Amino acid sequence: MSKKITVSKAIREGLLEEMRRDDKVFIMGEDMAVMGNVFAITTGFLEEFGPNRVIDTPISEEGFCGMGVGAAMRGMKPVIELMYNDFITEAADPIFNQAAKLKYMSGGQCSIPLVLRLPMGSGRRNAGQHSQSLEALACHFPGLKVVCPSNAEDAKGLIKAAIRDPDPVIVFEHKLLYAHKEEIPEEEYITPIGEAKVRREGKDITIITWSREVNFAMDAAKSLEAEGIDAEVLDLRTLVPVDWDAIKASVSKTHNVIIVSEEVKRGSYAGELSAQIAEELFDELDAPVERVCGLNIVSPFSPVLEDENFPHPETIAAAVKRVLNK
């Protein structure tokens, strides 16, 4: 059995189920309790779980992320939201220097079962300080797991998996996916961390992507089919640990690759994947790997300019044709 719900409600269901299952799980962040989150994901949580498990914080990301790390060290399971992924720069020390490293630096004596939810991405006209896709920054630090769901089923399954994981997990949620309605299973399920999924089988080229760009890649593949090009779409779902076996299997089948991401192209995680494919799968490639990313600019406020700033189906289709010399 399945039901059709939005991505935001799927995340809400995942949080509710885990909080009801385990009283060590608590949530905190700005406007999470009384307001119920700026995207209405936690509306009603305060009434059900009370102020000790649903905490409104001051506007101090470094402070409440540090509190979350301490709580995780003591056996609690904090789920923290930063409202926008852009604000992770305010909490760099507790996340990148503490949460990511404490298990290693304690010789495994303490785990950090902390989840950090980060709404990300362009498209809402939120301008330069509220529109970035910063997954590459999180992926840089050993000790952190990073997931990026593209649909309602994985949004729920991955948030549940993240909460149950003994290590810190960063969940990037694209803001423009929240309103998407999709089918999810009625019964309880978990989406495993570290497993990619082929969204569309193909033989001519592999489109590796994640988050909202999966939908654009699917649209591009459909338009390319009419021109006789058979594209495979690989949704990574998890960026760290990446499913290298899935990437290797797809590249070895199609022998051509583009990597699509909304990130700024310079220093992107797409660049890391491109380098790894070139280093380890060079003999499988018929053409160089191409990255299709956001422009190396500050995200504009102007709707017209912002829409030019990240890959669309037409951009992806054009890149496929370049790689295939079509």
Residue 130 bears catalytic tag: yes
- Residues sharing a CB contact under 8 Å with residue 257, sequence separation 6 or more, in sequence order: 205, 206, 207, 208, 251, 274, 277, 285, 289, 290, 323
2-185 against 197-324: fold identical: yes
Catalytic residue, from 130, 140, 255, 312: name it: 130
308: Cα within 13 Å, side-chain hemisphere: 8
Q: What are the structural domain ranges in the chain?
A: 2-185, 197-324
Instruction: Report the alpha-carbon distance of residue 320 to residue 278 in Å, rounded.
Output: 18
Q: Which residues pair with 55 in a beta bridge?
A: 28
8 Å CB contact between 220 and 313: yes
pLDDT, position 303: 86
- Consecutive 10-residue runs of the chain (326 residues): their mean pLDDT? 94 98 97 83 94 95 96 97 92 97 94 96 78 94 98 98 98 96 95 98 98 97 97 98 98 98 96 98 98 92 86 97 94
The DSSP bridge partners found for residue 23 are none
| Cβ-proximal residues to 107 (8 Å cutoff; 6+ apart), any chain | none
Q: Which amino acid is at 42?
A: T
CB 133, CB 119: distance < 8 Å = no
Measured CA to CA, the distance from residue 13 to residue 3 in angstroms comes to 12
Burial class (CB in 10 A: 0-12, 13-18, 19+), 148: buried
pLDDT number for residue 178: 95
CA 307 to chain CA centroid, Å, is: 20
Q: What pairing do the DSSP bridges indicate for beta strands 257-264 and 205-209?
A: parallel
Provide the CB-side half-sphere exposure for 178 (13 A, CA): 19
Tell me, what's the pLDDT at 134? 95
Q: What is the largest CA-CA distance in the chain?
A: 60
Q: What is the CATH number of domain 2-185?
A: 3.40.50.970
pLDDT of residue 300: 87
The class that CATH gives domain 197-324 is alpha beta
Q: What is the pLDDT of residue 297?
A: 86
Is residue 189 within 8 A of residue 157, CB to CB? The reply is yes
Please name every residue paired with 78 in a beta bridge, in sequence order, or none if there are none.
Answer: 26
